Structure 1
Amino acid sequence: MGALWRELTDLVLPAGCAGCGVPRAGSPLCEDCRGRLGEAEAWRVRPSPAPSGLPPVHAAVGYADEVRAVLLAHKERGALRLAAPLGGLLARAVRAAVGGRADGAAPVTLVPVPSARRAVAGRGHDPVRRIALAAAGQLRRGGTPTRVLTALRQRRPVADQSGLAAGQRLRNLDGALEAVPGSGTPLAAAEVVLVDDLMTTGASLAEAARAVDAVAGRRPVAAVIAVRSRR
C-alpha cells in the first residue's frame, strides 16, 4: 500500500527523476535517462571467476550511477512505474539470449530468481517478478511468445549477500533454492530463461539453474539481467 501511495503522489507532485534527480512531473524518468535506458544494447557477460553451472548470461545495461539509482528506486523505494523501462531492458536481453522466434513457437519461459519472503514483505512487492512480467508483455507485443513462471522459492534462510566474496556467496546459496511443487512438468517442457535484476558474482543464477535442473532434468538455456555490476 505504501508503494502504491508513493506512485499516486508522484503523479501530481513534482519530484526528481529516479535516475539523475532532475525535477520533473508526471514521469518517473527525465528524457535523458529514459533515452539512455531505451538505447541500451544487450551483450553477453560472465563474472570472473564464474561459478560452476552458470548458464550464458546477457545483460541489458552496464553499471552507472543513474542506472543504479533507477534500479534501487524500483526495488527498495517502491517506484512501481519503473518496472516498464526496466522490463524493456530485460526484453532486449532476452532477444539477445534466444534470438528471433517465429509465431507459434513454444513460448520463452521467464523464471524469476526468488527473493527472500521477508524481503518481499518489507518492500511490498517482488521487484524481479514485476520486471519479468513487464518484459514478457513487451516481448509478446513484439511477436515473441513469452510467459512468466514463478517456479522457484527459497527452501532455507540465507545471509545477506552484500559484502560477501564470491566463494562465500556460493556457500551461502548452496542448496538454498527449490522448485515450487507442480512446476517440474512445465519446466521440463520449456525453454527456460532465468531472470534477475543484478548480477555480481553469478552465485544466485547458478543456484537457480541447479534448482531448475534438479526438478526438470534440463538446465536453463540462458539467463538475463537488467544491470551488470562492476564487481
Structure 2
Amino acid sequence: MPVPSARRAVGARGHDPARRIALAAAGVLRGGGCPAKVPAVLRQRRRVTDQSGLDARQRLANVTGALGAVPGSGRLLVAGPVVLVDDVMTTGASLAEAARAVRAAGGLVIGAAVVAAPRAHINRN
C-alpha cells in the first residue's frame, strides 16, 4: 500500500512515485504467484508542510493525524496484511502515520518497503 503524497507534490512531479513503486512490486509478486494488490485506501485528510526543512520531531508533528482511510476501505484491509511502500524514508514519520491510519481502519501492517533511506536506518545484517 503506497503512502500517499500530497496532491500538490504529485502535481509538481507529474506522478506519484510511491504508487508507481507499489504497482510495479505488486506486478512482480503476482508474477511469482503471490496475490498482491495495491488498494487506494489511504488519503491525505489535511495539508501538511513540506518536510524537507524539518527535523525528526517537527516531521512527526507535521504528519500526525494527516492520513486516513477512505470510507468503506475496511473490507479491503481485512483481506490480508499490509506492506507500506514509500519512495524515501528520512525519519520514518510518514510511515508511522500511514501505519497508524491503516491500523485505525482495521488493517494489519507487517512491514514497509522503501527505495532510499539514510545509512542510519539500513539494517546491515
Provide the TM-score with structure 1 as the length reference: 0.50
Counterpart for residue 146 of structure 1:
36
Match of 1:97 in 2: none
Correspondent of 1:220 among 70, 94, 109? 109
**Contact 2:66–2:97 (CA under 8 A) maintained in structure 1:** yes
Q: Give the aligned partner of residue 85 of structure 2.
A: 195
| Higher Rg of the two aligned structures | 1
Q: Which whole-Å CA distance do the structure 2 matches of 1:161 and 1:151 have between them?
A: 22
Cα deviation, residue 208, structure 1: 0.3
Which deviations, in whole Å up to 9, do the C-alpha atoms of 1:29-84 show, x marking residues without a partner?
A: xxxxxxxxxxxxxxxxxxxxxxxxxxxxxxxxxxxxxxxxxxxxxxxxxxxxxxxx
Q: Which residue of 2 aligns with 1:130?
A: 20
Q: Distance in 2 between matches of 1:164 and 1:225?
A: 20
Q: Is the 8 A contact 1:128 1:196 kept in 2?
A: yes
**2:73 is matched with which residue: 155, 165, 183?**
183
- Count of equivalent residues: 120
Superposition CA RMSD, Å = 1.3
- TM-fit CA distance, 1:189: 2.6
Q: TM-score, normalised by structure 2?
A: 0.89
Residue pair 1:210, 1:219 contacting (<8 A) in 2 also: no
Deviations 1:132-164 (A, max 9, x none): 111111111122221111110110000011121
1:229 corresponds in structure 2 to 118
SS of structure 2 residue aligned to 1:178: strand
Matched, 1:208 2:76: no
Quick one: which of 168, 171, 181 aligns to 2:58?
168
Q: Percent identity?
A: 66
Q: Is the 8 A contact 1:193 1:224 kept in 2?
A: yes
Q: Which runs of 4+ in 1 moved over 2 A?
A: none
For residues 73-129 of structure 1, give each alpha carbon's deviation from its aligned partner in whole angstroms, at most 9, with x where no partner exists: xxxxxxxxxxxxxxxxxxxxxxxxxxxxxxxxxxxxxx1000001111222211110
Return 5+ residue gaps in structure 2 as ranges. 121-125
Alpha-carbon offset, residue 223 of structure 1: 1.0
Q: What are the equivalent positions in structure 2 for 1:28-47 lying under 5 Å apart?
A: none
